[in-house]
Structure 1
Amino acid sequence: MTNVTSGVGSGAPPIREVSLADVSASLADGWADFRAHPGFGLFFGGIYMVGGWLILAFLNRVGAPWMIIPLAIGFPLLGPFVAVGLYEVSRRRRAGEPVTRKGVLAQVFYQRERQLGWMAFVVMFIFWVWVYQVRLLFALFLGFKSFSSWDAFVQIVLSTPEGWGFLIVGTIVGAFLACVLFSTTVIALPMLAEREVDFVTAMITSVAAVVKNPVPMLAFGFIVGLATLVALLPAFVGLLVILPVLGHATWHLYRRVSAPV
Protein backbone atom coordinates (compact mmCIF):
# COMPACT_ATOMS: atom_id res chain seq x y z
CA MET A 1 0.00 0.00 0.00
CA THR A 2 1.35 3.43 -0.92
CA ASN A 3 2.48 5.51 2.04
CA VAL A 4 0.79 8.92 2.09
CA THR A 5 1.78 11.96 4.13
CA SER A 6 -0.83 14.61 4.90
CA GLY A 7 -0.59 18.01 3.20
CA VAL A 8 1.78 20.61 4.63
CA GLY A 9 -0.59 23.56 4.34
CA SER A 10 -4.07 24.75 3.48
CA GLY A 11 -5.00 23.46 0.04
CA ALA A 12 -1.87 21.35 -0.29
CA PRO A 13 -2.38 17.74 -1.38
CA PRO A 14 -1.17 14.73 0.63
CA ILE A 15 2.20 13.48 -0.62
CA ARG A 16 2.62 9.94 -1.82
CA GLU A 17 5.69 7.77 -2.06
CA VAL A 18 6.77 7.16 -5.66
CA SER A 19 9.40 4.97 -7.26
CA LEU A 20 11.73 5.06 -10.22
CA ALA A 21 9.01 3.19 -12.11
CA ASP A 22 6.74 6.22 -11.59
CA VAL A 23 9.44 8.47 -13.03
CA SER A 24 9.75 6.21 -16.08
CA ALA A 25 5.97 6.11 -16.49
CA SER A 26 5.74 9.91 -16.23
CA LEU A 27 8.34 10.34 -18.96
CA ALA A 28 6.46 7.85 -21.15
CA ASP A 29 3.23 9.76 -20.53
CA GLY A 30 4.99 13.02 -21.37
CA TRP A 31 6.14 11.59 -24.69
CA ALA A 32 2.62 10.32 -25.38
CA ASP A 33 1.16 13.78 -24.71
CA PHE A 34 3.67 15.38 -27.07
CA ARG A 35 2.90 12.87 -29.81
CA ALA A 36 -0.85 13.34 -29.33
CA HIS A 37 -0.63 17.16 -29.57
CA PRO A 38 2.73 18.07 -31.15
CA GLY A 39 1.54 21.50 -32.27
CA PHE A 40 1.34 22.77 -28.70
CA GLY A 41 4.69 21.27 -27.80
CA LEU A 42 6.45 22.74 -30.84
CA PHE A 43 4.88 26.14 -30.18
CA PHE A 44 5.95 26.36 -26.55
CA GLY A 45 9.32 24.72 -27.25
CA GLY A 46 9.84 27.17 -30.09
CA ILE A 47 9.55 30.07 -27.63
CA TYR A 48 12.55 28.72 -25.75
CA MET A 49 14.48 28.02 -28.94
CA VAL A 50 14.02 31.54 -30.32
CA GLY A 51 14.83 32.96 -26.89
CA GLY A 52 18.11 31.05 -26.93
CA TRP A 53 18.97 32.47 -30.33
CA LEU A 54 18.29 36.01 -29.10
CA ILE A 55 20.45 35.49 -26.02
CA LEU A 56 23.32 34.18 -28.15
CA ALA A 57 23.03 37.11 -30.56
CA PHE A 58 23.08 39.57 -27.65
CA LEU A 59 26.14 37.95 -26.04
CA ASN A 60 28.02 37.99 -29.33
CA ARG A 61 27.16 41.66 -29.73
CA VAL A 62 28.47 42.61 -26.26
CA GLY A 63 31.56 40.43 -26.64
CA ALA A 64 30.73 37.82 -24.00
CA PRO A 65 29.92 34.63 -25.93
CA TRP A 66 31.22 32.47 -23.07
CA MET A 67 28.20 33.49 -20.97
CA ILE A 68 25.96 31.46 -23.27
CA ILE A 69 26.56 28.33 -21.18
CA PRO A 70 25.20 29.59 -17.82
CA LEU A 71 22.46 31.61 -19.50
CA ALA A 72 21.43 28.78 -21.80
CA ILE A 73 21.31 26.31 -18.91
CA GLY A 74 19.21 28.67 -16.80
CA PHE A 75 17.01 30.07 -19.57
CA PRO A 76 14.58 27.12 -19.73
CA LEU A 77 13.91 27.67 -16.02
CA LEU A 78 12.37 31.08 -16.69
CA GLY A 79 9.14 29.96 -18.32
CA PRO A 80 6.55 29.00 -15.72
CA PHE A 81 3.78 30.66 -17.74
CA VAL A 82 4.82 28.74 -20.85
CA ALA A 83 4.96 25.51 -18.83
CA VAL A 84 1.35 26.11 -17.77
CA GLY A 85 0.28 25.54 -21.35
CA LEU A 86 1.94 22.14 -21.36
CA TYR A 87 0.40 21.26 -18.01
CA GLU A 88 -3.03 22.22 -19.32
CA VAL A 89 -2.63 20.02 -22.39
CA SER A 90 -1.73 17.07 -20.17
CA ARG A 91 -4.55 17.82 -17.73
CA ARG A 92 -7.17 18.04 -20.46
CA ARG A 93 -5.95 14.90 -22.19
CA ARG A 94 -5.92 12.95 -18.92
CA ALA A 95 -9.43 14.19 -18.05
CA GLY A 96 -10.78 13.44 -21.51
CA GLU A 97 -11.53 17.11 -22.20
CA PRO A 98 -11.08 18.78 -25.62
CA VAL A 99 -7.57 20.13 -26.14
CA THR A 100 -8.16 23.42 -27.96
CA ARG A 101 -5.93 26.41 -28.62
CA LYS A 102 -8.44 28.77 -27.04
CA GLY A 103 -8.74 26.72 -23.87
CA VAL A 104 -5.01 26.16 -23.40
CA LEU A 105 -3.96 29.76 -24.09
CA ALA A 106 -6.77 31.08 -21.89
CA GLN A 107 -5.34 29.05 -19.00
CA VAL A 108 -1.88 30.50 -19.65
CA PHE A 109 -3.13 34.09 -19.50
CA TYR A 110 -5.37 33.32 -16.53
CA GLN A 111 -2.29 32.51 -14.45
CA ARG A 112 -1.33 36.19 -14.42
CA GLU A 113 -4.05 36.71 -11.81
CA ARG A 114 -2.99 33.80 -9.61
CA GLN A 115 -0.08 32.76 -7.36
CA LEU A 116 2.02 31.45 -10.24
CA GLY A 117 3.14 35.02 -10.94
CA TRP A 118 4.80 35.16 -7.50
CA MET A 119 6.46 31.84 -8.20
CA ALA A 120 7.92 33.33 -11.36
CA PHE A 121 9.64 35.98 -9.23
CA VAL A 122 11.16 33.25 -7.06
CA VAL A 123 12.49 31.45 -10.15
CA MET A 124 13.83 34.72 -11.55
CA PHE A 125 15.63 35.46 -8.29
CA ILE A 126 17.32 32.05 -8.18
CA PHE A 127 18.27 32.47 -11.84
CA TRP A 128 19.78 35.88 -11.04
CA VAL A 129 21.83 34.31 -8.22
CA TRP A 130 22.95 31.63 -10.69
CA VAL A 131 24.19 34.18 -13.24
CA TYR A 132 25.77 36.37 -10.54
CA GLN A 133 27.76 33.50 -9.03
CA VAL A 134 29.09 32.59 -12.47
CA ARG A 135 30.35 36.13 -13.00
CA LEU A 136 31.74 36.26 -9.46
CA LEU A 137 33.64 33.00 -9.86
CA PHE A 138 34.85 34.16 -13.26
CA ALA A 139 36.28 37.32 -11.68
CA LEU A 140 37.87 35.37 -8.81
CA PHE A 141 39.50 32.68 -10.91
CA LEU A 142 39.96 34.28 -14.34
CA GLY A 143 39.86 37.99 -13.62
CA PHE A 144 43.35 38.59 -14.98
CA LYS A 145 42.93 36.42 -18.06
CA SER A 146 41.89 37.91 -21.36
CA PHE A 147 40.26 36.31 -24.36
CA SER A 148 38.45 37.64 -27.37
CA SER A 149 36.64 34.55 -28.59
CA TRP A 150 34.87 31.41 -27.45
CA ASP A 151 37.82 29.24 -28.51
CA ALA A 152 40.21 31.33 -26.44
CA PHE A 153 37.95 31.04 -23.40
CA VAL A 154 37.73 27.23 -23.72
CA GLN A 155 41.49 26.97 -24.10
CA ILE A 156 42.15 29.06 -20.98
CA VAL A 157 39.58 27.20 -18.89
CA LEU A 158 40.83 23.74 -19.86
CA SER A 159 44.58 24.43 -19.81
CA THR A 160 45.20 26.51 -16.68
CA PRO A 161 44.90 25.79 -12.92
CA GLU A 162 42.66 28.85 -12.60
CA GLY A 163 40.40 27.50 -15.31
CA TRP A 164 40.05 24.12 -13.64
CA GLY A 165 39.29 25.84 -10.33
CA PHE A 166 36.59 27.85 -12.07
CA LEU A 167 35.04 24.68 -13.50
CA ILE A 168 35.18 22.66 -10.28
CA VAL A 169 33.86 25.34 -7.91
CA GLY A 170 31.33 26.54 -10.48
CA THR A 171 30.01 23.00 -10.93
CA ILE A 172 29.61 22.49 -7.17
CA VAL A 173 27.87 25.82 -6.61
CA GLY A 174 25.75 25.39 -9.72
CA ALA A 175 24.68 21.90 -8.66
CA PHE A 176 23.58 23.24 -5.28
CA LEU A 177 21.52 26.05 -6.83
CA ALA A 178 20.03 23.66 -9.37
CA CYS A 179 19.01 21.32 -6.55
CA VAL A 180 17.39 24.20 -4.64
CA LEU A 181 15.52 25.40 -7.72
CA PHE A 182 14.39 21.93 -8.71
CA SER A 183 13.21 21.06 -5.19
CA THR A 184 11.18 24.24 -4.78
CA THR A 185 9.53 24.18 -8.22
CA VAL A 186 9.14 20.63 -9.55
CA ILE A 187 5.82 20.07 -7.76
CA ALA A 188 5.00 23.72 -6.99
CA LEU A 189 4.53 24.88 -10.59
CA PRO A 190 1.97 22.26 -11.70
CA MET A 191 0.28 22.49 -8.30
CA LEU A 192 -0.21 26.25 -8.66
CA ALA A 193 -1.58 25.71 -12.16
CA GLU A 194 -4.19 23.27 -10.84
CA ARG A 195 -5.06 24.28 -7.27
CA GLU A 196 -6.00 27.42 -5.40
CA VAL A 197 -3.02 27.45 -3.06
CA ASP A 198 -0.48 30.13 -2.11
CA PHE A 199 2.99 29.92 -3.63
CA VAL A 200 4.77 29.48 -0.27
CA THR A 201 2.67 26.42 0.52
CA ALA A 202 3.34 25.10 -2.97
CA MET A 203 7.10 25.51 -2.51
CA ILE A 204 7.06 23.82 0.90
CA THR A 205 5.00 20.94 -0.52
CA SER A 206 7.42 20.59 -3.42
CA VAL A 207 10.42 20.38 -1.08
CA ALA A 208 8.52 17.90 1.12
CA ALA A 209 7.85 15.72 -1.93
CA VAL A 210 11.56 15.66 -2.80
CA VAL A 211 12.53 14.89 0.81
CA LYS A 212 9.99 12.07 0.97
CA ASN A 213 11.11 10.65 -2.40
CA PRO A 214 14.78 11.65 -2.73
CA VAL A 215 15.93 8.94 -5.13
CA PRO A 216 13.14 9.07 -7.75
CA MET A 217 12.74 12.87 -7.57
CA LEU A 218 16.45 13.61 -7.87
CA ALA A 219 16.71 11.01 -10.62
CA PHE A 220 14.02 12.92 -12.49
CA GLY A 221 15.95 16.15 -11.87
CA PHE A 222 19.11 14.58 -13.26
CA ILE A 223 17.24 13.42 -16.36
CA VAL A 224 15.79 16.92 -16.84
CA GLY A 225 19.22 18.55 -16.53
CA LEU A 226 20.98 16.09 -18.82
CA ALA A 227 18.24 16.14 -21.46
CA THR A 228 18.22 19.94 -21.45
CA LEU A 229 21.99 20.09 -21.95
CA VAL A 230 21.73 17.68 -24.88
CA ALA A 231 18.90 19.76 -26.34
CA LEU A 232 21.08 22.89 -26.25
CA LEU A 233 23.87 21.43 -28.36
CA PRO A 234 22.27 21.57 -31.83
CA ALA A 235 21.79 25.38 -31.74
CA PHE A 236 18.89 25.06 -29.25
CA VAL A 237 16.83 23.11 -31.80
CA GLY A 238 16.53 20.15 -29.45
CA LEU A 239 14.44 22.31 -27.12
CA LEU A 240 11.57 22.01 -29.60
CA VAL A 241 10.99 18.44 -28.44
CA ILE A 242 12.86 17.96 -25.16
CA LEU A 243 11.25 20.79 -23.19
CA PRO A 244 7.64 19.96 -24.11
CA VAL A 245 8.15 16.29 -23.24
CA LEU A 246 9.73 17.25 -19.91
CA GLY A 247 6.93 19.73 -19.23
CA HIS A 248 4.26 17.09 -19.82
CA ALA A 249 6.24 14.56 -17.78
CA THR A 250 6.48 16.99 -14.86
CA TRP A 251 2.69 17.23 -14.78
CA HIS A 252 2.29 13.45 -14.70
CA LEU A 253 4.92 13.07 -11.98
CA TYR A 254 3.10 15.73 -9.95
CA ARG A 255 -0.15 13.78 -10.30
CA ARG A 256 1.59 10.61 -9.12
CA VAL A 257 3.14 12.34 -6.11
CA SER A 258 -0.02 14.19 -5.04
CA ALA A 259 -3.46 12.94 -4.08
CA PRO A 260 -6.36 13.76 -6.42
CA VAL A 261 -8.16 17.09 -6.18
Structure 2
Amino acid sequence: MPRKPPPPLPTVRTIRMVQPMIWLILAWRDMARAGWISFAHGLAVTLAGGAMLSVAHHRFWLLAGALSGFLVVAPVLATGLYALSRALERGEPANLGVVLRTWSQWQTSRGNNGGGDAWCMVRFGLLLALAGTGWVLTSAALITLLAPVPIETPVDFLRHVVMAREGWLFELWLGLGSLMAAPIFASSVVAMPLLLDRRATLLQAVLTSWQAVVANPLPMAFWAALILGFTLLGLGSLLLGLVAVLPMLGHASWHAYRDLVDASSLPEREIPNGAATALQNNGVAR
Protein backbone atom coordinates (compact mmCIF):
# COMPACT_ATOMS: atom_id res chain seq x y z
CA MET A 1 0.00 0.00 0.00
CA PRO A 2 1.58 3.33 -1.05
CA ARG A 3 2.38 5.76 1.74
CA LYS A 4 0.41 8.98 1.91
CA PRO A 5 2.40 12.03 0.86
CA PRO A 6 3.04 14.53 3.68
CA PRO A 7 0.51 17.36 3.87
CA PRO A 8 1.51 20.47 1.94
CA LEU A 9 2.88 23.30 4.06
CA PRO A 10 2.03 26.98 3.70
CA THR A 11 4.66 29.23 2.17
CA VAL A 12 7.06 30.80 4.67
CA ARG A 13 8.43 34.29 4.02
CA THR A 14 11.77 35.76 5.01
CA ILE A 15 11.67 38.92 7.11
CA ARG A 16 13.98 41.75 8.11
CA MET A 17 15.89 41.76 11.37
CA VAL A 18 13.87 44.70 12.72
CA GLN A 19 10.48 43.15 11.94
CA PRO A 20 9.85 41.98 15.54
CA MET A 21 9.91 45.62 16.65
CA ILE A 22 7.14 46.37 14.13
CA TRP A 23 5.10 43.50 15.59
CA LEU A 24 5.29 45.16 19.00
CA ILE A 25 4.13 48.50 17.55
CA LEU A 26 1.19 46.79 15.84
CA ALA A 27 0.42 44.98 19.09
CA TRP A 28 0.04 48.27 20.97
CA ARG A 29 -2.33 49.48 18.26
CA ASP A 30 -4.44 46.34 18.68
CA MET A 31 -4.44 46.73 22.45
CA ALA A 32 -5.72 50.29 22.13
CA ARG A 33 -8.46 49.23 19.72
CA ALA A 34 -9.55 46.11 21.61
CA GLY A 35 -9.60 47.94 24.94
CA TRP A 36 -10.33 46.24 28.23
CA ILE A 37 -10.80 42.73 26.84
CA SER A 38 -7.17 42.69 25.74
CA PHE A 39 -5.84 43.78 29.13
CA ALA A 40 -8.21 41.32 30.83
CA HIS A 41 -6.06 38.48 29.51
CA GLY A 42 -3.03 39.95 31.22
CA LEU A 43 -4.97 40.60 34.42
CA ALA A 44 -6.19 36.99 34.53
CA VAL A 45 -2.63 35.67 34.22
CA THR A 46 -1.42 38.16 36.84
CA LEU A 47 -4.08 37.02 39.30
CA ALA A 48 -3.23 33.38 38.64
CA GLY A 49 0.45 34.16 39.20
CA GLY A 50 -0.41 36.00 42.40
CA ALA A 51 -2.27 32.94 43.65
CA MET A 52 0.78 30.84 42.81
CA LEU A 53 3.02 33.24 44.72
CA SER A 54 0.79 33.09 47.79
CA VAL A 55 0.91 29.30 47.82
CA ALA A 56 4.60 28.80 47.01
CA HIS A 57 6.31 31.94 48.35
CA HIS A 58 8.29 29.80 50.80
CA ARG A 59 8.97 27.12 48.20
CA PHE A 60 10.93 29.09 45.64
CA TRP A 61 12.46 25.87 44.29
CA LEU A 62 8.97 25.12 42.96
CA LEU A 63 8.10 28.70 42.10
CA ALA A 64 11.17 29.16 39.89
CA GLY A 65 10.13 26.25 37.70
CA ALA A 66 6.47 27.25 37.63
CA LEU A 67 7.17 30.84 36.58
CA SER A 68 9.66 29.82 33.91
CA GLY A 69 7.23 27.12 32.76
CA PHE A 70 4.80 29.97 32.05
CA LEU A 71 6.85 30.68 28.92
CA VAL A 72 6.02 27.22 27.62
CA VAL A 73 2.23 27.46 27.88
CA ALA A 74 1.97 31.18 27.02
CA PRO A 75 1.12 30.51 23.33
CA VAL A 76 -2.05 28.75 24.48
CA LEU A 77 -2.99 31.42 27.01
CA ALA A 78 -2.79 34.02 24.22
CA THR A 79 -5.28 32.25 21.92
CA GLY A 80 -8.01 34.79 22.62
CA LEU A 81 -5.59 37.60 21.77
CA TYR A 82 -4.87 36.06 18.37
CA ALA A 83 -8.60 35.97 17.74
CA LEU A 84 -8.97 39.63 18.71
CA SER A 85 -6.19 40.68 16.33
CA ARG A 86 -7.71 38.62 13.53
CA ALA A 87 -11.09 40.25 14.10
CA LEU A 88 -9.54 43.72 14.04
CA GLU A 89 -7.68 42.84 10.85
CA ARG A 90 -10.95 41.80 9.22
CA GLY A 91 -12.87 44.81 10.43
CA GLU A 92 -15.04 42.67 12.70
CA PRO A 93 -16.06 43.46 16.29
CA ALA A 94 -13.23 42.57 18.69
CA ASN A 95 -15.11 41.90 21.89
CA LEU A 96 -15.74 39.27 24.55
CA GLY A 97 -17.88 37.28 22.14
CA VAL A 98 -14.90 36.71 19.86
CA VAL A 99 -12.87 35.30 22.75
CA LEU A 100 -15.68 33.07 24.01
CA ARG A 101 -16.35 31.68 20.53
CA THR A 102 -12.67 30.96 20.06
CA TRP A 103 -12.36 29.00 23.29
CA SER A 104 -15.60 27.07 22.61
CA GLN A 105 -14.85 26.08 19.00
CA TRP A 106 -13.40 22.71 19.96
CA GLN A 107 -16.75 21.64 21.43
CA THR A 108 -18.49 21.91 18.07
CA SER A 109 -15.77 20.43 15.87
CA ARG A 110 -15.28 16.97 17.31
CA GLY A 111 -17.00 15.32 14.40
CA ASN A 112 -14.48 16.58 11.87
CA ASN A 113 -12.16 13.75 10.88
CA GLY A 114 -10.07 15.74 8.48
CA GLY A 115 -7.49 16.67 11.07
CA GLY A 116 -8.07 20.38 10.68
CA ASP A 117 -10.68 20.87 13.38
CA ALA A 118 -10.28 22.94 16.51
CA TRP A 119 -9.31 19.84 18.49
CA CYS A 120 -5.84 20.41 17.03
CA MET A 121 -5.58 23.48 19.26
CA VAL A 122 -6.66 21.46 22.27
CA ARG A 123 -4.15 18.70 21.56
CA PHE A 124 -1.35 21.20 21.02
CA GLY A 125 -2.28 23.01 24.21
CA LEU A 126 -2.14 19.75 26.14
CA LEU A 127 1.28 18.97 24.69
CA LEU A 128 2.60 22.38 25.76
CA ALA A 129 1.06 21.98 29.20
CA LEU A 130 2.73 18.56 29.51
CA ALA A 131 6.07 20.08 28.50
CA GLY A 132 5.61 22.91 31.00
CA THR A 133 4.79 20.44 33.78
CA GLY A 134 7.86 18.40 32.87
CA TRP A 135 10.05 21.47 33.21
CA VAL A 136 8.51 22.42 36.57
CA LEU A 137 9.32 18.94 37.93
CA THR A 138 12.82 18.97 36.41
CA SER A 139 13.56 22.44 37.79
CA ALA A 140 12.27 21.54 41.25
CA ALA A 141 14.32 18.34 41.30
CA LEU A 142 17.52 20.12 40.24
CA ILE A 143 17.20 22.88 42.83
CA THR A 144 16.13 20.69 45.75
CA LEU A 145 18.68 17.94 45.10
CA LEU A 146 21.73 20.01 44.12
CA ALA A 147 21.37 23.27 46.04
CA PRO A 148 23.71 23.42 49.06
CA VAL A 149 20.90 24.67 51.35
CA PRO A 150 17.10 24.61 51.18
CA ILE A 151 15.84 27.22 48.68
CA GLU A 152 12.75 28.82 50.16
CA THR A 153 12.83 32.49 49.10
CA PRO A 154 13.98 34.53 46.08
CA VAL A 155 16.95 35.73 48.16
CA ASP A 156 17.97 32.11 48.77
CA PHE A 157 17.74 31.42 45.05
CA LEU A 158 19.90 34.44 44.18
CA ARG A 159 22.48 33.77 46.91
CA HIS A 160 22.86 29.99 46.70
CA VAL A 161 21.98 29.27 43.07
CA VAL A 162 22.52 32.32 40.85
CA MET A 163 25.56 33.81 42.61
CA ALA A 164 27.01 30.65 44.13
CA ARG A 165 30.82 30.64 43.90
CA GLU A 166 31.07 26.87 43.84
CA GLY A 167 29.27 24.43 41.62
CA TRP A 168 27.43 24.81 38.33
CA LEU A 169 23.83 24.52 39.46
CA PHE A 170 22.64 27.79 37.91
CA GLU A 171 24.43 27.07 34.63
CA LEU A 172 22.95 23.56 34.57
CA TRP A 173 19.48 24.96 35.35
CA LEU A 174 19.77 27.52 32.56
CA GLY A 175 21.22 25.01 30.12
CA LEU A 176 18.47 22.45 30.63
CA GLY A 177 15.83 25.17 30.45
CA SER A 178 17.25 26.48 27.18
CA LEU A 179 17.54 22.96 25.79
CA MET A 180 13.83 22.45 26.41
CA ALA A 181 12.70 25.95 25.46
CA ALA A 182 14.41 26.14 22.06
CA PRO A 183 12.49 23.31 20.33
CA ILE A 184 9.25 24.37 22.00
CA PHE A 185 9.71 27.92 20.72
CA ALA A 186 10.47 26.60 17.23
CA SER A 187 7.38 24.36 17.35
CA SER A 188 4.97 26.97 18.65
CA VAL A 189 6.06 30.41 17.40
CA VAL A 190 3.37 30.50 14.68
CA ALA A 191 1.61 27.17 15.29
CA MET A 192 -1.27 28.39 17.47
CA PRO A 193 -2.16 31.41 15.29
CA LEU A 194 -2.07 29.13 12.23
CA LEU A 195 -4.34 26.56 13.87
CA LEU A 196 -6.72 29.33 14.86
CA ASP A 197 -6.76 30.96 11.44
CA ARG A 198 -6.71 28.01 9.05
CA ARG A 199 -7.92 24.43 8.84
CA ALA A 200 -4.46 23.00 9.29
CA THR A 201 -3.41 19.78 10.94
CA LEU A 202 -1.22 19.83 14.02
CA LEU A 203 1.66 18.41 11.99
CA GLN A 204 1.31 21.15 9.37
CA ALA A 205 1.28 23.85 12.06
CA VAL A 206 4.36 22.56 13.88
CA LEU A 207 6.37 21.96 10.69
CA THR A 208 5.43 25.42 9.40
CA SER A 209 6.59 26.92 12.67
CA TRP A 210 9.94 25.13 12.39
CA GLN A 211 10.24 26.23 8.78
CA ALA A 212 9.69 29.86 9.79
CA VAL A 213 12.49 29.64 12.37
CA VAL A 214 14.91 27.90 9.99
CA ALA A 215 14.24 30.45 7.23
CA ASN A 216 14.73 33.41 9.62
CA PRO A 217 17.22 32.34 12.30
CA LEU A 218 18.45 35.79 13.36
CA PRO A 219 15.10 37.63 13.38
CA MET A 220 13.48 34.75 15.26
CA ALA A 221 16.34 34.66 17.77
CA PHE A 222 15.76 38.40 18.26
CA TRP A 223 12.03 37.73 18.70
CA ALA A 224 12.73 35.00 21.27
CA ALA A 225 15.02 37.39 23.17
CA LEU A 226 12.30 40.07 23.17
CA ILE A 227 9.74 37.60 24.48
CA LEU A 228 12.11 36.49 27.24
CA GLY A 229 13.09 40.05 28.14
CA PHE A 230 9.55 41.39 28.39
CA THR A 231 8.39 38.31 30.28
CA LEU A 232 11.19 38.71 32.83
CA LEU A 233 10.23 42.37 33.12
CA GLY A 234 6.65 41.36 33.84
CA LEU A 235 7.68 38.73 36.37
CA GLY A 236 10.19 41.04 38.02
CA SER A 237 7.57 43.72 38.64
CA LEU A 238 5.77 41.45 41.11
CA LEU A 239 3.75 40.19 38.11
CA LEU A 240 2.00 43.55 37.66
CA GLY A 241 3.76 44.15 34.37
CA LEU A 242 2.14 41.03 32.93
CA VAL A 243 -1.14 42.96 32.69
CA ALA A 244 0.38 44.74 29.68
CA VAL A 245 3.14 42.33 28.67
CA LEU A 246 0.94 39.31 27.97
CA PRO A 247 -1.51 41.09 25.63
CA MET A 248 1.35 42.89 23.91
CA LEU A 249 3.20 39.65 23.17
CA GLY A 250 -0.01 37.85 22.24
CA HIS A 251 -1.10 40.45 19.69
CA ALA A 252 2.47 40.73 18.40
CA SER A 253 2.57 36.95 17.88
CA TRP A 254 -0.44 37.22 15.59
CA HIS A 255 1.36 39.81 13.47
CA ALA A 256 4.45 37.59 13.49
CA TYR A 257 2.34 34.79 12.01
CA ARG A 258 0.86 37.10 9.37
CA ASP A 259 4.29 38.32 8.29
CA LEU A 260 5.99 34.94 8.35
CA VAL A 261 3.36 32.65 6.82
CA ASP A 262 1.35 32.84 3.61
CA ALA A 263 -1.48 30.50 4.57
CA SER A 264 -3.73 31.32 1.60
CA SER A 265 -3.35 27.74 0.32
CA LEU A 266 -5.26 26.44 3.35
CA PRO A 267 -9.01 26.95 3.89
CA GLU A 268 -10.02 29.43 6.56
CA ARG A 269 -11.36 28.12 9.81
CA GLU A 270 -15.09 28.75 9.85
CA ILE A 271 -17.17 29.68 12.88
CA PRO A 272 -19.11 26.60 14.09
CA ASN A 273 -22.77 26.58 13.07
CA GLY A 274 -24.04 27.11 16.59
CA ALA A 275 -21.80 30.11 17.10
CA ALA A 276 -22.68 31.52 13.69
CA THR A 277 -26.38 31.25 14.47
CA ALA A 278 -25.88 33.09 17.73
CA LEU A 279 -24.00 35.81 15.89
CA GLN A 280 -26.77 36.20 13.35
CA ASN A 281 -29.31 36.49 16.12
CA ASN A 282 -27.28 39.30 17.63
CA GLY A 283 -26.95 41.04 14.29
CA VAL A 284 -23.13 40.86 14.18
CA ALA A 285 -22.60 37.96 11.79
CA ARG A 286 -20.02 38.37 9.08
TM-score bracket for this pair, using the shorter chain length: 0.7 to 0.9
Identity %: 25
Within the alignment, does 1:136 sit opposite 2:141 as a pair? yes
Residues 58, 20 of structure 1: alpha-carbon distance in 2 compared, 3 angstrom cutoff: same
Q: Secondary structure at the match of 1:99?
A: coil
1:141, distance to aligned residue in structure 2 (A): 2.3
Residues 54, 9 of structure 1: CA spacing in aligned structure 2 closer, same or farther, 3 A cutoff? farther
**C-alpha root-mean-square deviation of aligned residues, in Å?**
2.1
- Give 1:231 shift: 0.6
**2:251 matches 1:251:** no
Whether the aligned pair in 1 keeps the contact of 2:15 and 2:219 (CA below 8 Å) is: yes
Task: Label 1:118 to 1:147 Cα distance change in 2 as closer, same or farther (>3 A).
Answer: closer
**Deviation, structure 1 residue 33:** 0.5
1:181 aligns with 2:184: yes
Shift of 1:153: 4.0
Whether the 8 Å contact between 1:11 and 1:195 is mirrored in structure 2 is no
Higher relative helix content: 1
Counterpart pick for 1:198 among 196, 201, 217: 201
Confirm whether residue 242 of structure 1 aligns to residue 245 of structure 2. yes
1:225 positional shift: 0.7
3-state SS of the aligned residue for 1:20? coil
Q: Please state how far the C-alpha of 1:104 moved relative to its aligned partner.
A: 2.9
Cα separation, 2, equivalents of 1:255 and 1:148? 43
Report the counterpart of residue 126 of structure 2 in structure 1.
121
Is 1:77 matched up with 2:80?
Answer: no
**Relative to structure 1, is the Cα distance of residues 159 and 200 closer, same or farther in structure 2, using a 3 angstrom cutoff?**
same
Gaps of 5+ in 2: 110-117, 265-286
> Where in structure 1 are there 5+ consecutive unaligned residues?
1-7
Instruction: Identify the residue that residue 171 of structure 2 maps to in structure 1.
Output: 168
Q: In structure 2, do the counterparts of structure 1 residues 153 and 77 end up closer, same or farther at CA, with 3 Å as the change threshold?
A: closer
Q: SS in structure 2 opposite 1:161?
A: coil
Deviation, structure 1 residue 111: 4.0
What whole-Å deviation, never above 9, does each CA across 1:89-131 have from its counterpart, x for those lacking one? 1111111122232133212221454110010121112212322
- Which residue of structure 2 lines up, in the alignment, with residue 5 of structure 1? none
Contact 2:34-2:95 within 8 A present in 1 as well: no
Query: For 2:259 and 2:106, how far apart are their aligned partners in 1?
Result: 23
Which range is displaced more, 19-28 or 226-235?
19-28
Matched, 1:39 2:36: yes
| 2:160 counterpart (156, 163, 187) | 156
TM-score w.r.t. the length of structure 1 is 0.87
In structure 1, C-alpha distance between the alignment counterparts of 2:164 and 2:263, rounded to whole Å: 54
Q: Give the CA deviation at 1:197.
A: 1.2
* Counterpart in the other structure of 2:211: 208
The structure-2 alpha-carbon separation of the partners of 1:85 and 1:11, relative to structure 1 and needing over 3 Å to count, comes to farther
Structure 1 residues 146 and 88, CA, compared in 2 at 3 Å: closer, same or farther?
closer
Asked whether the 8 Å contact 1:82–1:108 carries over to 2, the reply is: no
Residue 21 of structure 2: which of 16, 20, 24 is its match? Answer: 24
Aligned in 2, Cα 1:151/1:23: closer, same or farther, shift over 3 Å? closer
Confirm or deny: 8 A CA contact 1:11 1:196 kept in the other structure. Answer: no
Q: Which amino acid aligns with 1:64?
A: R
C-alpha distance in 1, partners of 2:76/2:151? 37
Rounded to whole Å, the distance in 2 between the matches of 1:247 and 1:109 is: 19
Higher gyration radius (CA)? 2
> Contact 1:59–1:67 at 8 Å: present in 2 too?
yes
| Structure 2 counterpart of 1:105 | 100
